């Protein structure tokens, strides 16, 4: 089971939060606000926060910009993970992944199942890494945001978490870019 090594320093990480919704604004976006409050409450930095409609190109454009921004280490999107015609967040973001994080979806659904039962199958939560940036795609309810942050993301972005965490591997995420091409 995970533990916290209090002898290690806390290292703040820079997060961006994107709410995907056709009906919300930043002022009434409870899910984005929930994530922003939890990020800052944990001692991390909220580097960016935005809201876009359920549109593949708009979602992909802002996430791509954030992936290229050296001031952002991790991106969390909320909304657009269901099955309706307007739910397109996974389609917008998954093509950007260099590496998928299948374990995130598995653990998220496990946590969600304990709270909402089999209704968790209606979410297409996903995660991955692109350009040394972690990306999490979670449902648009405040409850799902709390579950994802409290149960997974917060723990993995605490350098003191043991046996391992994302913060300790962040410096090595782009090592393939530093090595150059292999010689045959």
Digit-coded pLDDT (tens) for 43-101 = 999 999 999 999 999 999 999 999 999 999 999 999 999 999 999 999 999 999 999 99
Please provide residue 109's backbone torsions phi and psi, each rounded to the nearest 5 degrees.
Answer: -65, -35
Q: DSSP letter string over 157-184? A: T-TTEES--HHHHGGGTTHHHHH-PPP-
Q: Is 13's pLDDT higher than 90?
A: yes
Token duo for residue 175: 């090592």
Question: Structure pTM?
Answer: 0.93
Domain that residue 47 falls in: 9-171
The verdict on residue 65 lying in a domain is: yes
1 falls within a domain: no
Residue 178 has a pLDDT of 54
Asked whether the beta carbons of 77 and 93 are under 8 A apart, the reply is yes
Domain count, the chain: 1
Q: pLDDT: is 108 or 1 the higher one?
A: 108
What is the CATH classification number for the domain harbouring 101?
3.40.980.10
Within 8 A by CB and 6+ apart from 106, the residues are none
Is residue 107 within a helix (H) or strand (E), and if so which, with residue range?
Answer: helix 102-116
Task: Reduce the DSSP state of residue 126 to 3 states and report it.
Answer: strand
Residue 124: inside a domain, yes or no?
yes
| Residue 181, domain member (yes or no) | no
pLDDT-based confidence at 182, cuts 50/70/90? very low
How distant, in Å, are the alpha carbons of 7, 84, 85 from that of 88?
43, 9, 8
Q: What is the mean pLDDT of the chain?
A: 93
Query: How far, rounded to the nearest angstrom, does the alpha carbon of residue 162 sit from its chain's CA centroid?
Result: 20
The whole-angstrom separation of Cα 118 and Cα 34 is 24
Q: Is there a domain that residue 149 lies in?
A: yes
Q: What number of CA atoms fall less than 13 Å from residue 6's CA on the CB side?
A: 0
For residue 46, which of 65, 33, 63, 62 has the smallest C-alpha distance?
A: 33
Of the chain, the percentage scoring pLDDT greater than 70 comes to: 95
What per-residue confidence (pLDDT) applies to 177? 60
Q: Is residue 74 a contact partner of residue 170, using CB atoms and an 8 Å limit?
A: no
> Is residue 120 in a domain?
yes
Check residue 26 and report its DSSP letter: G
Query: Could you give the 3-state DSSP secondary structure of residue 100?
Result: strand
Residue 183 in any domain: the answer is no
179 domain residue, yes or no: no
For residue range 144-169, list pLDDT tens digits in order: 999 999 999 999 999 999 999 999 99
Question: Does position 179 have pLDDT exceeding 90, yes or no?
Answer: no
pLDDT in tens, 98-116: 999 999 999 999 999 999 9
- In angstroms, the CA 70 to CA 3 distance is 30
Could you give the residue ranges of the DSSP H alpha helices within 24-94? Answer: 30-41, 56-67, 89-93
pLDDT greater than 50 at residue 180 = no
């Amino acid at each position: 089971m995970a533990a916290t090594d209090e002898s290690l320093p806390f290292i703040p990480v820079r997060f961006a939060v994107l709410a995907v919704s056709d009906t919300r604004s930043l002022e009434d976006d409870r899910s984005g606000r929930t994530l922003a409050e939890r990020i800052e409450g944990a001692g991390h930095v909220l580097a960016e926060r935005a809201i876009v409609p359920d549109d593949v190109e708009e979602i992909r454009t802002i996430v791509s910009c954030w992936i290229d921004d050296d001031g952002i280490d991790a991106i969390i999107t909320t909304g657009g993970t269901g099955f309706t015609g307007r739910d397109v967040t996974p389609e917008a973001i998954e093509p950007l992944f260099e590496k998928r994080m299948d374990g995130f979806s598995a653990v998220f659904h496990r946590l969600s199942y304990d709270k909402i039962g089999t209704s968790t199958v209606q979410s297409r939560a996903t995660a991955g890494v692109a350009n040394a940036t972690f990306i999490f795609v979670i449902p648009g309810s405040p409850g799902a945001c709390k579950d994802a942050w409290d149960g997974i993301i917060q723990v993995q972005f605490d350098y003191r978490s043991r046996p391992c965490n994302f913060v300790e591997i962040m410096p090595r995420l782009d090592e393939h870019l530093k090595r150059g091409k292999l010689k045959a």
